[in-house]
Amino acid sequence: MKKRILGFWEIWNMSFGFLGIQFGFALQGGFMSRIFQTLGADKESLPLLWIAAPLTGLIVQPIIGYLSDKTWHARLGRRRPYFLIGAILSSLALFLAPHSSALWMAAGFLWILDASINISMEPFRALVADKLHESQRSYGFVVQALIIGVGTLVASNLPWLVNILGVSNEAAPGVVPMSVKVAFGIGAVVFITSILYTIFTTDEYPPEDMEAFEKMKAESKGRFIQDIVENIGKMPSTMVKLGIVQFFSWFAFFTMWSMAMPALTEHVYNAPAPMESAYDFTLIEQQKQFDTANARYQDASDKVGSAMGIYGLSSMGFALVLAYFSSKFRVNRKLTHMISLTIGGIGFISMYYASNIWHLYGSFLLVGIAWGSILSMPYAMLSSAIDAKKMGVYMGLFNMFIVLPQIIAAVGGINVSYKLMGDHTINAMIVAGIALLLAALANLLITNKKAIAYTLD
């Protein structure tokens, strides 16, 4: 079936579910470390607690991509059944996570949340490639990045906004503040609503030859592991090279998600999370000291979370500019990505010199430019370099280059690398900056002209 050129609103509708997905990711990335610390985790254990997220992605995304390539539902199509399943599970996990009463419960909900988000997310990447003509691929992924930017901005500011509206950001020791609980509840509603919007406003192309499709499904039964291994072995060289870019990019952002909260509350606001074990709550004076320290930490956390929302705003603005140019001109994806990652690397390193909220706004503004590019350019390049019939499974396998650096970071990569510079947690942000600069240089490996920019056959 020949793909027609789609209008902006058609692309917007098919991508709108990413608003909910990003609400989930932004709340998870911005505030799960806050929940962990509130429940008693020390900052050294945060990356390890986060290991659930990349591990679930490593397992879930190739499976979902493989299955969605071989799915056709009469009413929901190929990718939409997975959107719906993931949205239901993610919304439940978002609502329940901040109500955790113990650290192990919060870690478990992070695991469930990330697995569920992954069920929804990768089919969305494949849907853009399924629906859009080759000439619109950059445009389509940039529109996704635009919606993700909106989600990041709003979700990152939710605890601060609900606190401004009168919901308390303070709580007893070991209890997550009500402002965070309300924010996660709002995120759950947005997640399911936005996914349903895409499901009801977007159709999918059926297989061109249904008989051949059913035959292919029958022949592939029981071959899941064999097919995955074969696809890994036949991975296009451009995909491997993009994987190197992704490796350093996602190491950087995993470092930010897991360590920015303790790093910046300590470095900029001198308000580290108070450890309950350091206080004797039978002594009134120490109880007061803890309450004061906890109040300072919660206020600083709100400010850091708000500042992190700026990277959503700048990624949104950057995506708007890219959307305009990609709809009018051929975009050099490689050069765009290289420059964007360099700017983001400078943003991370500049956090070391931040002393107030305005400095953090500037740093995260630069980081957002890299984020906007990470969410669009690699996928646009990849979709032009792989077999369309294997779009789902290769999009899922591409996730290996996202989750492996996160696993490495979680099991010690972050702690080891930043401590080479000293014991101050802010050094983790310098490590993130260096990683993005290495990712920018790795773009020089990409030589496939079709991947770099759309070309007429």
Share of the chain above pLDDT 70, in %: 94
- Highest averaged pLDDT of the listed ranges 144-148, 279-283, 410-414: 410-414
| Calpha distance 218→166 (Å, rounded) | 58
> What is the pLDDT, as a whole number, of residue 365?
95
| Mean pLDDT, residues 316-326 | 78
Largest CA distance in the chain: 77
Q: What is the pLDDT of residue 437?
A: 98
CB atoms within 10 A of CB 448: 16
**Mean pLDDT (whole number) for 330-338:** 88
Give the pLDDT score at 456. Answer: 53
Tens digits of residue pLDDT in 85-96: 989 999 999 999
pTM of the model: 0.74
> Span 298-314, mean pLDDT?
85
Is a pLDDT exceeding 80 seen at residue 221? no
The pLDDT, as a whole number, for residue 433 is: 97
What pLDDT does 3 receive?
64
Which of these ranges, 98-107, 138-147, 169-178, has the smallest mean pLDDT? Answer: 138-147
Kindly state the average pLDDT of the residues 164-171: 85
Report the alpha-carbon distance of residue 237 to residue 244 in Å, rounded.
11
Judged against a pLDDT cut of 60, whether residue 1 lies above it is answered with: no
Cα 100 to Cα 108: distance, rounded to the nearest angstrom: 9
Mean pLDDT, the chain, whole residue set: 84
Which own/partner contact pairs does 229-238 have at CB distance under 8 Å and 24+ positions apart? 231/390, 231/393, 231/394, 231/397, 232/397, 235/394, 235/397, 236/385, 236/386, 237/448, 238/381, 238/382, 238/385, 238/446, 238/448, 238/451
Report whether pLDDT(137) > 80.
no
Name the phi and psi angles at 77, rounded to 5: 80, -145
Q: What pLDDT, in 10s, does the model give residues 337-396?
A: 999 999 999 999 999 999 999 999 999 999 999 998 998 888 888 877 777 777 777 777
β-sheet bridge partners, residue 73: 77
Distance between CA atoms of residues 396 and 80, nearest Å:
16
Query: Counting Cβ atoms within 10 Å, is residue 227 exposed (0-12), middle (13-18) or buried (19+)?
Result: middle
User: What share of the chain in percent tops pLDDT 90?
Assistant: 25
All residues at 6 or more sequence positions from 163 whose CB lies less than 8 Å from its CB, including other chains = 169, 179, 302
Residue 116 has pLDDT above 70, yes or no: yes
